[in-house]
Each structure stands twice: as structure tokens, then as C-alpha cells.
Amino acid sequence: MRVLITGAGGQLGHDLQVVLRDEEVVARDHRALDISNEAAVLAVVKETRPQWIINAAAFNDVDGAESAEDEAFAINARGPANLADAAAAVNAGLVHISTDYVFDGTKGRAYTEDDRPNPLSVYGRSKYQGERSVLESTASACVLRTAWLYGTHGKNFVKAILERAKEGRPLEVVADQVGSPTSTQDLAEAINRLIRTPARGLFHVANAGACSRFEFAKAIVRGAVEVRPITSAQAARRAPRPAYSALTSVRWEAAGLSPLRPWQAALDDFLDGS
């Protein structure tokens, strides 16, 4: 199977290349392919003629997007639309990665695919427009919403907490944001299973369960340092975050796909290096 991975330099893109190592993988990071460039996207897709395109490219700086709206929308909204058009042109399947930040967090329990998005931030709005462009296109496409990604490659919350813990001082972490921590390794393996099925459409794909950022940090440090709860207001981040954006699925298992394991098990494997 020939698979084109965009955003191949990121943490998910890195793990996708490992998981799909037995396939014919064409990997393009943001330097090799700017997905906001329609002509460049079409040229690469027509040249490589993949059976699947997996889009792991994104403008992921949630706070930075508040002052870089044009760039965020170019990559997160126009980019997926370009990939969908190119996929349709060569009859390729498309997997596009979206986010829990399309929700406002007011539901108070886990969101399913049937819940209505209401993004709070520029990042969330740009990602929502991107997923709509893909789902409304003529491409044979899947949109996967996931959350709180971490892996061995690149920057993420788990690695940041581990680095801060090395200083030995107490950590202050927000306790009023709840979500679904998800291993990029587990997500990559789920995508590998997905592209071997006829399933299409919108899916929530995250490690099972939910926790606050504070609870997540405590699980990460394993008692090595004290973790103190603070509020989002005290953290004073530029972009608003949903208070409760945990994800669950009513479509993944119905499509014959196995749910991801609990977040605690995935985190333990990551921390233990297995």
C-alpha cells in the first residue's frame, strides 16, 4: 500500500512512519510540502499516486494562533481542503486529524461524534473548518478527532512535565480542564487498522477515560515531585480552552474497530519505555 503522510516531521507523523514501515510510505514534513499551497499539494499527490493520504500536518500552537489567525486557517482549514480535492482527483482515501478543541467544554461529560461543535479559540475554529471541508468534499475520507497527544518525538505535555519535574520543585498545573490523554503510538496503530477497512466519516479516537491536566501531571511524575492544582484563570493562557473536552465514540466500534486502551495503561507504557 502506498501511503502519503503529510506533517511527517511531527510526533504523530513520526509514529505513523514506524507503524506503517512495511508499506510504501512517502513522508513529507512541512518543509517539503506546505499543505496550504494548493498547486504543490496536487503536484505531490499526482506524482506519488497514493492509495491513502494521512494528514498529520497542523498549526498546533493554540495560544500563538490567537495572533496568527491567517496562518492557522491556511494550514488547518485550507490545507485539508486542498488535500481532499487532491485525494478525490486520484481516487485516494484521506485520513485527516482533528481535535477535541472544536468543542466548548460545557456539556459536562464526554463528547461523541453526534455532539455539535462550538470552538472557543482561533485554533479550534480553524480545525473545525478544516474537518468540515474534508467531510463535505467528494473525497473518500475519514476525520479523526483526538486529544492531548503525546509521544517520543517533538514537544508535548508529558515531556514538558517530565522536564520541569527534574528541577525538583513543586509543579502548578490546571485542575479545571478535563480531557482524554492519547498516545500517538496508539493513535498511529488505530489509523493503521482503519485504512484496511471500508469505514468512512467522522470518528472520535482517543485513549479511553478522562482526567484533568492536574491528574495527568500527577500520573506523569509518579510522586517524584509535588503537583499543586491551579485554575485556568491563574494559568492565564492567551487562548481559551474547553473545561471538559473528553472524547468517546459511538461510531468506532460500530465500524468494527477496537477501542483504544485506557489512558493510564498507555501512559505507563510510555513512561516505562515499552
Instruction: Flag whether 169 is in a domain.
Output: no
**Strand extents, DSSP E, 114-249:** 140-146, 149-150, 171-174, 178-179, 182-183, 201-204, 211-212, 227-230
b/e sequence 116-134, b meaning 16+ C-beta within 10 Å: ebebbbbbbbbbbbbbbbb
pLDDT class of 236 with cuts at 50, 70, 90: confident
List Cα–Cα distances, 59 to 45, 67, 68, 77, 136, in angstroms: 21, 12, 10, 10, 21
Residue 194, number of CB atoms within 10 A of its CB: 21
Return the percent helix, strand and coil in the chain, to nearest 5.
40, 20, 40
Instruction: Flag whether 50 is in a domain.
Output: yes
Instruction: Flag whether 118 is in a domain.
Output: yes
Looking up cell 500527577 gives: 218
Instruction: Flag whether 17 is in a domain.
Output: yes
Instruction: Flag whether 28 is in a domain.
Output: yes
For residue 274, pLDDT over 60 is answered with no
The predicted pLDDT at position 94 comes to 98
- Per-residue pLDDT reduced to its tens digit, 184-212: 999 999 999 999 999 999 999 999 999 99
- Which residues contact residue 120 at a Cβ distance below 8 angstroms, ignoring those fewer than 6 apart? 101, 104, 105, 239, 240, 241, 242
143: helix, strand or coil: strand
Enclosing domain of residue 71:
2-156+182-208+245-261
- Per-residue pLDDT reduced to its tens digit, 130-161: 999 999 999 999 999 999 999 999 899 999 99
Find out whether 65 and 121 touch, Cβ atoms under 8 Å: yes
- Per-residue pLDDT reduced to its tens digit, 82-140: 999 999 999 999 999 999 999 999 999 999 999 999 999 999 999 999 999 999 999 99
- Per-residue pLDDT reduced to its tens digit, 9-26: 999 999 999 999 999 999
Find out whether 92 and 41 touch, Cβ atoms under 8 Å: no
pLDDT class of 249 with cuts at 50, 70, 90: very high
Closest CA to 251 of 164, 171, 145, 149: 145
Q: Which of 123, 128, 150, 244 does the annotation list as catalytic?
A: 123
What's the pTM value of the predicted model, to 2 decimals?
0.94
Written as nine digits, the cell of 65 is 494562533
Written as nine digits, the cell of 236 is 492565564
User: Does 128 qualify as catalytic in the annotation?
Assistant: no
Find out whether 216 and 171 touch, Cβ atoms under 8 Å: no
The predicted pLDDT at position 24 comes to 96
CATH code for position 152: 3.40.50.720
Instruction: Flag whether 223 is in a domain.
Output: no
Instruction: Flag whether 237 is in a domain.
Output: no
**Sign of the torsion angle spanned by Cα atoms 220, 226, 229, 235:** negative
DSSP 261: P
Q: How many domains does the chain divide into? A: 1
For residue 273, pLDDT over 90 is answered with no
Please give the Cα distance from 199 to 195 (Å, whole number). 8
- Which residues contact residue 7 at a Cβ distance below 8 angstroms, ignoring those fewer than 6 apart? 13, 29, 30, 35, 55, 56, 57, 58
Instruction: Flag whether 124 is in a domain.
Output: yes
